[in-house]
Amino acid sequence: MIQVQGLSKSFGKVKAVQNVSFSAPDGQITGLLGPNGAGKSTTLRMLYTLLKPESGTAQVDGFDIRESPLEVQRRIGVLADARGLYSRLTSRENIRYYGRLHGLEGETLEKQIESLLFLLDMQTIADRKTEGFSTGEKLKVAIARTLVHNPKNVLLDEPTNGLDVMSTRAMRQFISRLRGEGKCVLFTSHIMQEVAALCDQIVIISRGEVTANGSPDDLRKQTGRENLEDAFVAVIGSEEGLE
């Protein structure tokens, strides 16, 4: 469960995020939709406590991101925009490292790694060094390490970026699966169709501000457009970001 109240952040004179508020409930997929540079990643970075908000705050399962960042970090799994792996470590070692940083160890950790390897269909690459992995293979390792501590809240920054059709499809199924497990899933995307297909709730961000917020049906009603794509264009006021 993630609740966001009035988050703002500037870099120099650029107001990256202004007064963003929304909430992402458990068991639902919430999509942050907006064109490139709209402030989606900055919002996410404040939620996973890497950036400090200038004003406003947010809570993850009731823990404030400003006051108890470590408690927040324990409760989230994050696929950040930067998803670099350690190329001299194997997939399993990469995942194990993050598990240990979350305080897991021994049998519990190894079992959890094994089930993630199975779930993401990556047994064949489990004990290979990640150097030279394809984009899809790298993403699988990044996702596995994101989920190794079985977080209640999952934050995904542009999870389908750079994936081919098959991998994108698998990724979407995986996100739905997380919802099925009762997790709170928050992901960003600039792709309308993806958000429309997956999300229970859409938060549209444009130029750092929330311009619309609601279920796909709500958005259609608010804008008076039948088609969600038209609704999106109406909300952000331009056609940028449509693919």
Per-residue binding letters, 146-165, with another protein (x by CB under 8 A): x-------------------
By the rule CB under 8 A, 13 interacts with another protein: no
Tokens found for residue 65 = 């991101």
Cβ-based neighbour number of residue 25 at 10 Å: 12
CA distance 150 to 132: 28
Regarding 10 and contact with another protein (CB under 8 A), the answer is no
- Shortest reach from residue 16's CB to another protein, in Å: 11
Closer to another protein by Cβ: residue 129 or 207:
129
Q: CB-wise, 103 or 224, nearer to another protein? A: 103
Residue 29: left if φ>0, alpha if ψ -120 to 50, beta else—which one?
Answer: beta
What is the distance between the alpha carbons of residues 236 and 157, in angstroms, rounded to a whole number? 20
- What token pair was written down for 229? 């794509």
Instruction: Point out which span in 141-149, 173-181, 191-199, 223-231 binds another protein (CB under 8 A).
Output: 141-149
Site membership for another protein, residue 48 (CB under 8 A): yes
Does 83 sit near another protein (CB under 8 A)?
yes
Is residue 86 a contact residue for another protein (CB under 8 A)?
Answer: yes
d(C-alpha 45, C-alpha 104), whole Å: 24
169 belongs to the binding site for another protein (CB under 8 A): no
Beta strand pairing status for 2-11 and 55-60? antiparallel
| 183 is an interface residue for another protein by CB under 8 A | no
Q: What are phi and psi of 194, to 5 degrees?
A: -65, -50
Candidates 42-50, 106-114, 176-184, 229-237: pick the segment binding another protein (CB under 8 A).
Answer: 42-50
